């Protein structure tokens, strides 16, 4: 009888390492799914490799097209093809890269191809006829098809591909998206034991309790306040499939963080007040009626110039996080776009550009407007789906101590 070895594994470290392996294979796995996987392992510890397979597949696989990559990684890791030292920082171990580079002869015979039009059944770890510890046959893929739920599918689907009812659900999720703006030093101070400054006012006030003698020095440190978020959304015809979702995002940020919201096509329109209402549909209707150039052409340079001249130099853009939602298609001269983006970058703390076309296969920012603006952008994300918007959230919440080009704002 072969020797059975038992391993004690920390669920959090295990989940993070396996998520890293899947991400290296191209699956959209983030820290949240690694945490879900660790929780699942703690709540229902798998007794067999098959149970581990289905637990991991239920957490990490969100679409049928991801199954081949997931199965390859699972087999490479749990069939002995890969070493976990590769994910602990040991660069001397070939890990999964060596598995991918092995020749077909070294990998062994390939599994039989599935009939045309039929998705191949997921390989049960240990072989197709493997049985679990109690002698029961492994459940068929039809019976335990860990397909993505409706919400999971919506999260990964591009906004342009959603039906009307699905779009309404996504808009509600996007409006409630949790965004944490970076912090900036404020003029006011707050008491702090390790503060470098002595707060004379608080020290004098405390001295009244000791007969006017300042027996205790009250120290203070500068307080920190969230930076302002400014959003400029392109509502031209080329952005129409994404406009309503982005406006829902803007409405949520206006309500939660008092963000400033603008839309532009051929001219700039401020919609902060229109988006301040709690009724999403009414606010969006007011926003659409307030922008007369809705679904028309695009003039990015004129929009950025108008924002800087009328609002940015008066303080709205100074030290703010400016988010531009546009595909970069514009009728303006690229040189003018570069000039106006340079002006904006000198005022803003950080510029984040959201281009839903970035998610397309083979995308390159070669359009005149996008290519001219990109050198002045700090973060370039796609934001084409709900899952992709989490990259925008991380781009907005950049470390407040990091300054672009060494410029303290």
pLDDT score at 403: 39
141 contacts: CB under 8 Å, gap ≥ 6: 121, 122
**Residue 325 forms beta bridges with which residues?**
233, 354
194-223 burial: b if 16+ Cβ within 10 Å, else e: ebeeebeebbeeebeeeeeeeeeebbbbbe
CA distance 59 to 172: 23
CA distance 87 to 90: 7
Positions of the chain with pLDDT lower than 70, given as ranges = 1-9, 79-152, 278-281, 283-284, 287-288, 290-296, 399-409
CA distance 11 to 190: 40
**Residue 324 forms beta bridges with which residues?**
232, 353
- pTM equals 0.59
CA distance 72 to 102: 13
Question: In 3-state terms, what secondary structure has residue 323?
Answer: strand
pLDDT score at 80: 54
pLDDT score at 139: 40
Q: Give the pair of three-digit tokens for residue 64.
A: 């049928």
Q: Return left, alpha or beta for 83; rule: phi > 0 is left, psi -120 to 50 is alpha, else beta.
A: beta
Q: Give the pair of three-digit tokens for residue 258.
A: 């008092």
Sign of torsion over alpha carbons 383, 386, 390, 393 = positive
Q: What is the CATH number of domain 229-406?
A: 3.40.50.410
pLDDT score at 114: 42
Residue whose entry in the numeric block shows the structure tokens 């550009």: 353
Q: For the sheet with 197-198, list strands across it.
A: 183-191, 219-226, 197-198
Helix axes 11-24, 67-78, angle to 10 degrees: 130
Nearest to 76 by CA among 29, 113, 23, 21: 21
Count the neighbouring beta carbons within 10 Å of the beta carbon of residue 9: 12
Residue extent(s) of CATH 3.40.50.410 domains in the chain: 229-406
pLDDT score at 147: 39
pLDDT score at 157: 86
Nearest to 174 by CA among 65, 380, 325: 325
pLDDT score at 151: 63
Residue whose entry in the numeric block shows the structure tokens 């696989």: 61
pLDDT score at 287: 65
DSSP 239: G
CA distance 161 to 402: 37
pLDDT score at 8: 56
């Amino acid at each position: 009888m072969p020797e059975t070895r038992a391993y004690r594994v920390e669920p959090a470290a295990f989940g993070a390492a396996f998520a890293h392996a899947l991400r290296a294979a191209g699956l959209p796995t983030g820290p949240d799914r690694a945490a879900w996987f660790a929780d699942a392992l703690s709540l229902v510890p798998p007794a067999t490799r098959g149970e581990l397979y289905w637990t991991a597949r239920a957490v990490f696989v969100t679409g049928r097209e991801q199954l081949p990559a997931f199965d390859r990684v699972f087999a490479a890791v749990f069939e002995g093809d890969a070493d976990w030292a590769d994910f602990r920082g040991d660069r001397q171990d070939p890990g999964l890269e060596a598995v991918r580079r092995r020749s077909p002869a070294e990998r062994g015979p390939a599994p039989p191809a599935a009939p045309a039009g039929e998705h191949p059944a997921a390989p049960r770890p240990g072989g197709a006829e493997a049985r679990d510890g109690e002698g029961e046959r492994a459940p068929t893929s039809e019976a335990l098809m860990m397909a993505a739920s409706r919400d999971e599918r919506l999260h990964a689907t591009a906004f342009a591909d959603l039906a009307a009812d699905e779009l309404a659900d996504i808009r509600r999720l996007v409006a409630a998206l949790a965004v944490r703006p970076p912090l900036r030093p404020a003029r006011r101070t707050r008491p702090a034991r390790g503060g470098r400054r002595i707060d004379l006012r608080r020290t004098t006030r405390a001295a009244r309790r000791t007969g006017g003698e300042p027996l205790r020095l009250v120290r203070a440190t500068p307080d920190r306040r969230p930076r302002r978020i400014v959003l400029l959304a392109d509502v031209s015809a080329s952005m129409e499939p994404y406009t309503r979702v982005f406006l829902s995002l803007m409405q949520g940020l206006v309500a939660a963080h008092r963000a400033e919201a603008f839309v532009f096509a051929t001219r700039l329109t401020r919609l902060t007040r229109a988006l301040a209402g709690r009724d999403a549909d009414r606010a969006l209707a007011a926003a659409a009626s307030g922008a007369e150039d809705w679904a028309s052409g695009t003039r990015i340079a004129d929009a950025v110039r108008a924002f800087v001249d009328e609002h940015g130099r008066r303080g709205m853009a100074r030290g703010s996080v400016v988010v531009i939602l546009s595909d970069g298609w514009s009728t303006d001269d690229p040189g003018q776009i570069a000039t106006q983006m340079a002006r904006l970058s000198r005022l803003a703390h950080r510029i984040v550009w959201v281009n839903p076309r970035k998610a397309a296969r083979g995308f390159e920012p070669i359009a005149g407007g996008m290519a001219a603006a990109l050198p002045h952008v700090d973060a370039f994300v796609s934001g084409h789906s709900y899952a992709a918007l989490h990259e925008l959230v991380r781009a907005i919440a950049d470390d407040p101590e990091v300054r672009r080009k060494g410029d303290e704002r």
